[in-house]
Amino acid sequence: MDVDARPTPRELRELDQWLARSDEVTALLDCALRGCQLESHPLVERSLAESMRWLNGAQQDVPGELLRVYDECLACSQSGRFEEASRILLDLRSSWTETVAALRRDRSRASHLH
């Protein structure tokens, strides 16, 4: 979508669908954080795998940087470095919620254009 152009109705529908399910990723990141608190690598692994499936299913390109962060978190968890994995997840969750909030603000502004 061109920055100066108005979003098309299709782009707005796709964004609405994406935003409607974005809370699932937040909940899955919370589950992964809980896995770190419980020192449960299987819970961390399942939660991150499910959030990645959701992102892939949302027809969004998953940036390589995000994959790197997931891999780093999984490696920490697998080797028992749960505090480090938790810090990574907290940063990721913070960035995720900021991004979603910005998209919701942009969506709200875009709805006033139509």
DSSP 68-105: HHHHHHHHHHHTT-HHHHHHHHHHHHHHHHHHHHHHHH
Q: What is the pLDDT of residue 88?
A: 97
Q: What is the pLDDT of residue 32?
A: 98
Residue 5: DSSP 8-state? S
Q: What is the pLDDT of residue 100?
A: 87
Q: What is the pLDDT of residue 1?
A: 46
CATH value of 9-111 in 1.25.40, 2.40.170, 1.20.120, 1.10.10: 1.20.120
- How many residues can be counted in the chain? 114
DSSP H or E stretch at residue 35 = helix 9-37
Task: List per-residue pLDDT tens for the chain, 114 residues long.
Answer: 445 567 778 877 877 887 878 889 999 999 999 999 999 999 999 999 999 888 776 655 566 788 899 999 999 999 999 999 999 999 999 998 998 898 888 877 766 655
Residue type, 81: R
- Both tokens assigned to 59: 């027809």
